[in-house]
Amino acid sequence: MSVKFRLSNIDMLSRLSLCVVLLSTGMTLVWPINVVYMHDAFGRTASAAGLVLLFNNGASFVGNVLGGFIYDRWGGKTTVYAGIVGSACIVTAMGIVRDFYGYAALLTLLGFFGGLVYPVINAVAVSSSPGDELKAVNRIFVSHNIGMALGASLGGLIADMSIQALFFGNALLYALFLVVFAAFIREPITPGQAARSNRSGDGREVAHGSMFIVIICIAFAISWLCYSQWAAIVPLHSQANGISFRSYSMLWTINGALIMLSHPVKMRLLIRYSVTARGQVVIGSMLFGLGLLAVGLSVHYSQFVVAMIVMTLGEILVFPSVPAWALEKAGPGARGRVMGWVAASSTAGRMAGPFIGGILYENIGGKGMFAIMAVVGVAAISLYLIADKLSDVQRVRTASE
């Protein structure tokens, strides 16, 4: 008895998850080596490389906001196509260019085109899972990190042979993503649905929660500012302690594997003990602080591994809960915008993180820099709590109107 594979048997969320794995694998081949590459290939300092990443993330910020807005107004499939084609062309050119300023300009453009894509994918995932938005956000988060783990593993192996091959491999995986996305994502993303929802009062729902979303996005940006040091400064810190880039890349493999394996356990525990989004971000932010302190004190590779495990446990609590928390304030017609702003806030953190981290690292060293970041990461808890309190006040006020 033969069993025929049918595309219709695969739900939309699983198709999107596969697309995200491919996208994140390609992206992670190149992203962790940017600071080291600009340092080694062009002779630039960590702060100069951090400034380039600031421009990259600034452009990504614009792409995030624009991508979310376009999804709500006109749908998102064309936006994804434009973002991926542009990214593939740019990352190919990055593997060829031999001039620092040309590389910096291309990296900035890559930020914009890449920034268009993720808000659309998240908005489609949430829209395809009505009533189960938390599941959708977590599935995309896990898929993203599976891709990062695969990309980090491949990146370390490929980097030993050729740094340029990383850029071309990234472009190839972008092209594969485009083929899979075009073939698998068949359900229409209709701008008319978003437009009708915007006229049905969803805008008022967002307006009522606008200050909550602003504050939680600021806190989320701070969390990402601290977390971004793992991609920006930890490579330099680990090299200074005699750890190879290949070994550093394996830390991201551990990160992705832990996220993937812990997901079912995490969901069961959250349901069993009814842990709120506020509880998740408070516990997760404390773990961020511990992880940053640990990596600042790390000398041996095993210590870096322990620090990564602690940071990962914080990550799996904070990063999926904040988007789901924000979505509680968004109607169906505003999901793209809310996802765009949440993605933009994470981009803002990644934008400032390498630059600030680079300056601190060069002036006070690794221990001092990571200690400061640990304090800042824990301090973000106060903003999350203020946002939660504001949400309670607004809910009571809205109920009394």
Q: List pLDDT tens digits, range 371-394.
A: 999 999 999 999 999 988 877 666
- How many C-beta neighbours within 10 Å does residue 294 have? 19
The pLDDT value given to residue 173: 94
Q: Is the pLDDT assigned to residue 186 strictly greater than 90? A: no
Whole-angstrom CA distances from 394 to 32, 101, 220, 389 are 41, 48, 21, 9
The pLDDT value given to residue 85: 95
Beta carbons of 34 and 353 less than 8 angstroms apart: no
For the chain, give the mean pLDDT: 83
Q: What is the mean pLDDT of residues 209-226?
A: 90
- How many C-beta neighbours within 10 Å does residue 261 have? 11
Q: Is the pLDDT assigned to residue 278 strictly greater than 80? A: yes
Q: Is the pLDDT assigned to residue 273 strictly greater than 80? A: yes
For residue 264, count CB atoms less than 10 angstroms from its CB and return exposed for 0-12, middle for 13-18, buried for 19 or more. Answer: exposed
- pLDDT bin (cut points 50, 70, 90) of residue 7 is very low
Q: Is the pLDDT assigned to residue 192 strictly greater than 90? A: no
34 SS3 class: helix
Q: What percent of the chain has pLDDT above 90?
A: 35
- pLDDT bin (cut points 50, 70, 90) of residue 152 is confident
The pLDDT value given to residue 260: 85
- Give the Cα separation of 149 and 170 in Å (integer): 14
User: Comparing 202 with 384, which gets the higher pLDDT?
Assistant: 384
The pTM of this model reads 0.79
Q: List pLDDT tens digits, range 345-367.
A: 998 898 788 889 988 998 999 89
The candidate with the shortest Cα–Cα distance to 32, out of 224, 251, 315, is: 251
Beta carbons of 68 and 341 less than 8 angstroms apart: yes
The candidate with the shortest Cα–Cα distance to 76, out of 35, 124, 34, 30, is: 124
Q: List pLDDT tens digits, range 108-120.
A: 999 999 999 988 8
Per-position b or e across 354-382, b if 16+ CB within 10 A of its CB? bbbbbbbbeeeebeebbbbbbebbbebbe
Query: Which amino acid is residue 50, in one-letter code?
Result: G
